[in-house]
Structure 1
Amino acid sequence: MSLAPVLRTPRQRSARFALTAAAATMTVLTAAGCATSPAKSGHTDASGGASGSGKKIQVVAAENFWGSIASQLGGSHVDVTSIITSPDTDPHDYEPTAGNARTVSGARYAIVNGIGYDAWADKLLSTNPGSDRTELKVGDLVGLKPGGNPHRWYSPRDVHRVIEKITADYKKIDPAGAAYFDQRKTAFETKTLAPYTRLVSGIKSKYAGTPIGASESIVTPLSKDLGLKMLTPDTFLNAMNEGADPSAKDKATIDQQIKKKQIKVYVYNSQNSTPDVQAQVKEAKAQGIPVVTVTETLAPAGASFQQWQTGQLRDLERSLAKATGK
């Protein structure tokens, strides 16, 4: 997968919680009438009726990777709107619009990532309370609070936990559709996600223990579930995720890991690229270390969750094979 990098300044993410909370409040309360409509998910079931029929569960997802899953699990019984849909948008620093607020206020079911990743979404929910709205916060589901690694859609284990929870919530909201939702879940996990599941299992069984490096902490949940050995210092990965300056010690450690080929593959988030990261990518390529590109949100924007993740996993598998000769 080849994607043009979307550059962020190193400080773009720092202090984001205070700034986005304030921006969310100001925008939601004052921007009425000037917002564009939120994007609808492109993954609804072909048998679905007209949007807004009143018979569907109105669902809002803060990010399109969760929205894609929610739409496929709900099929013709749901109408899903994802707020973050563009690969060029940083979910950490997004400023909600009045249109987003209206979407949230009219939703019967809301899905946010949590763990400090989308604090603006929490603000939207609290500003637009719904007495009958069911809310799924992925961080709460997996038992992580702000400060933990928020990138749970890169954990295959947590993805399946989210699938279970969304299905259970749909059945509570629409008990008459319980059998339909069970069928959707079974088909999604056993057929739709089958290539994804096979890749996860195959990489783990063949390459577990292989040392890799990465540009930021988005890769950590995936590397753990795949059994890969992350050599990049956690302090560097977290600093890059938070937009902080990495330490000279960490940069020197990574430089040595690359120059001595202690890592077999370097995994690079193209949506968070700084001069330090670009230098690492360049050096890794110069040393003949395969570089795998990943993104934070669906790329291209119209892809499904499984298309996006499967493409990236295949790139990783090919790179591991090239690097190890297995």
Structure 2
Amino acid sequence: MKAVPSRPAVPRPPVRRPLRAAALCVAALLAAAPLAACSTSSAPGSSGASDDGKPAASSGGAGGHRTIKVVAAENFWGSIASQLGGSHTEVTSIIDNPEADPHDYEPTASDARTVAGARYAIVNGVGYDGWAGKLLSANPAAGRTALEVGGLVGVEPGGNPHRWYSPADVHQVIERISADYKRIDPADAADFDRLRNTFETRTLAPYDRLISAIRAAYAGTPIGASESIVSPLADGLGLRMLTPYSFLSAISEGTDPTAHDTSLIDRQIRDKQIKVYVYNSQNATPDIQRQVGEAEAAGIPVATVTETLTPAGASFQQWQVRELRGLKQALAKATGK
């Protein structure tokens, strides 16, 4: 293995605004967005259809192909949706800036118009992007299909919303998006099958290989983390998370962790009970910056993850493969394997 590249400088922590502000912003947008009259949205995860039972019409694409207008609340799901749809889809991701915080994003009038015109919508759910659900409800459209990822994978309200870091959930979402595309546009079903097969067997092959390799070599290795975004990934890789979930959740939600949890993590680092420390570099609070410094001082390798696609313009697989390689290198350094 090559030496681990130096860790990028820790950025200033983002400011998590109260969710109430986002709700007020959504309410203000309702009058500004063009609403589809006398229509309702399909239930999350269901297929929408027009009154005659056929898929609602989409705008025409190049060569006479139908184009499905797709809106994704976050770009990690949008990247997958775009690759599964190819030229048959036009995908817009609302959160597409690495500096934006999806937890309390304040949508714009342009976002509301995008949602109003979408034939297919993908939201994460589980309390992560409540503003997106409000936009869908406020901008109904006949025949729209909506996918809520949390509901699809069976995560209840209050559960961990970071499902794009669960390899099993990612593959489940791929299956549903492809199936929904075929229901919306059955004439191009064979093309959607081809796109899905290519994405899963070739495009995601490095991602799947890294997951299998890390699990095979390092399952059971104790790690620490800065927030709950790392938990689904640790579960998928078979790593043993020692950081209390109450601490992980507090940092993720922008609340103060308890003194007991902070003291426990400090001891885990000081006594080298963890082999690797993983942190979200887009949410580096003073507590987390201190823990990163303590881990480095103790000789514990540090790996980073981010909340959304980084750098801007990266695909889902490019982003995840880069992070998995960094984590694998940190685990190799820590364990000598």
TM-score by length of 2: 0.87
2:306 is the alignment partner of 1:313: no
For 2:179 and 2:98, how far apart are their aligned partners in 1?
A: 30
CA shift in 2, pair 1:9/1:88, >3 Å = closer
For 1:300 and 1:145, how far apart are their aligned partners in 2?
A: 31
Q: Give the aligned partner of residue 134 of structure 2.
A: 123
CA deviation string 1:13-67 (max 9, x = no partner): 6x52x332222111343489xxxxxxxxxxxxxxxx968x882100000000000
Note if contact 1:69-1:305 (Cα within 8 Å) is conserved in structure 2: yes
Q: Give the aligned partner of residue 134 of structure 1.
A: 145
Note if contact 1:108-1:132 (Cα within 8 Å) is conserved in structure 2: yes
User: How many residue pairs align between the two structures?
Assistant: 307
Note if contact 2:75-2:96 (Cα within 8 Å) is conserved in structure 1: yes
Q: Give the aligned partner of residue 21 of structure 2.
A: 19
Structure 1, unmatched stretches of 5+, are: 33-48
SS in 2 for 1:159: helix
1:7 maps to amino acid: R
Q: Give the aligned partner of residue 176 of structure 2.
A: 165
Note if contact 2:65-2:88 (Cα within 8 Å) is conserved in structure 1: no
Q: Give the aligned partner of residue 201 of structure 1.
A: 212
CA shift in 2, pair 1:181/1:223, >3 Å = same
For 1:226 and 1:192, how far apart are their aligned partners in 2?
A: 20
1:20 maps to amino acid: A
CA shift in 2, pair 1:281/1:78, >3 Å = same
CA shift in 2, pair 1:21/1:279, >3 Å = same
CA deviation string 1:72-110 (max 9, x = no partner): 000111010000001100001111111111111101000
CA shift in 2, pair 1:31/1:186, >3 Å = closer
How much is the aligned-residue C-alpha RMSD, in angstroms? Answer: 1.9
Q: Give the aligned partner of residue 29 of structure 1.
A: 31
Q: Give the aligned partner of residue 158 of structure 2.
A: 147
For 2:147 and 2:13, how far apart are their aligned partners in 1?
A: 29
For 1:272 and 1:77, how far apart are their aligned partners in 2?
A: 36
Q: Give the aligned partner of residue 282 of structure 1.
A: 293
Find the structure with the greater CA-based Rg: 2
Out of 256, 259, 278, the residue aligned to residue 270 of structure 2 is 259
Q: CA deviation at 1:131?
A: 1.6
Q: CA deviation at 1:146?
A: 2.4
For 2:66 and 2:30, how far apart are their aligned partners in 1?
A: 27
1:25 maps to amino acid: A
Q: Percent identity?
A: 65
2:71 is the alignment partner of 1:69: no
For 1:281 and 1:157, how far apart are their aligned partners in 2?
A: 29
For 1:103 and 1:151, how far apart are their aligned partners in 2?
A: 24
2:231 maps to amino acid: T
2:110 maps to amino acid: G
SS in 2 for 1:79: strand
CA deviation string 1:146-172 (max 9, x = no partner): 210000000000000000000000000
Note if contact 1:59-1:110 (Cα within 8 Å) is conserved in structure 2: yes
1:21 maps to amino acid: A
Note if contact 1:9-1:243 (Cα within 8 Å) is conserved in structure 2: no
TM-score by length of 1: 0.90
For 2:327 and 2:254, how far apart are their aligned partners in 1?
A: 25
Out of 227, 233, 236, the residue aligned to residue 225 of structure 1 is 236
Note if contact 1:156-1:225 (Cα within 8 Å) is conserved in structure 2: yes
For 1:143 and 1:4, how far apart are their aligned partners in 2?
A: 37
